[in-house]
């Protein structure tokens, strides 16, 4: 599918299905059904990161597709959602099953504070 075909087929279902929220993401991650792809630049990841996301900068994504686990839903992330949405569109056109995190990494950082962070990480350690 090329981008023009994607745009022509875009409808309300696709608008809904292209997004994932934080609670759904974390639940799927706990079950091992998601691969989180952080599309920020290396300098951004060097400044702050999530230990459970794989960094593939947006401008490197076309050459690094082989690093993506196709058995899982791909969720793209960036601080807000602009680059994550671009990455998700690229992956969709290439035939990958993907979504982008609506609240972005800043929303995820806010969500995973205190007890939520501890409970999530405790669960991850138990499963892996």
The pLDDT of residue 10: 93
Residue 89, domain extent: 3-127
CA distance 104 to 81: 5
| Spatial separation of the C-alpha atoms in residues 19 and 107, rounded to whole Å | 14
Half-sphere exposure of 60 (CA within 13 A, CB side): 14
**Residue 44 to residue 27: CA distance in whole angstroms:** 26
Q: pLDDT for 25-81, tens place per residue? A: 999 999 999 999 999 999 999 999 888 899 999 999 999 999 999 999 999 999 999
pLDDT, position 6: 92
Mean predicted lDDT score pLDDT of the chain: 93
How many structural domains comprise the chain? 1
The CATH number assigned to the domain holding 82 equals: 3.40.250.10
pLDDT tens figures, 75-109: 999 999 999 999 999 999 999 999 999 999 999 99
């Amino acid at each position: 599918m090329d981008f023009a075909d994607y745009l022509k087929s875009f409808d309300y279902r696709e608008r809904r299905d292209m997004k994932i929220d934080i609670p759904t993401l974390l639940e799927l991650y706990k079950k091992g059904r998601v691969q989180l792809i952080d599309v920020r630049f290396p300098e951004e990841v060097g400044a702050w990161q999530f230990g459970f996301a794989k960094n593939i900068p947006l401008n490197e994504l076309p050459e690094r597709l082989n690093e993506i686990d196709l058995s899982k839903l791909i969720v793209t992330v960036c601080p807000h959602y602009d680059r994550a949405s671009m990455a998700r569109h690229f992956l969709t056109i290439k035939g990958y099953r993907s979504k982008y995190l609506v609240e972005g990494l800043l929303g995820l950082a806010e969500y995973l504070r205190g007890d939520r962070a501890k409970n999530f990480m405790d669960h991850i350690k138990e499963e892996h």
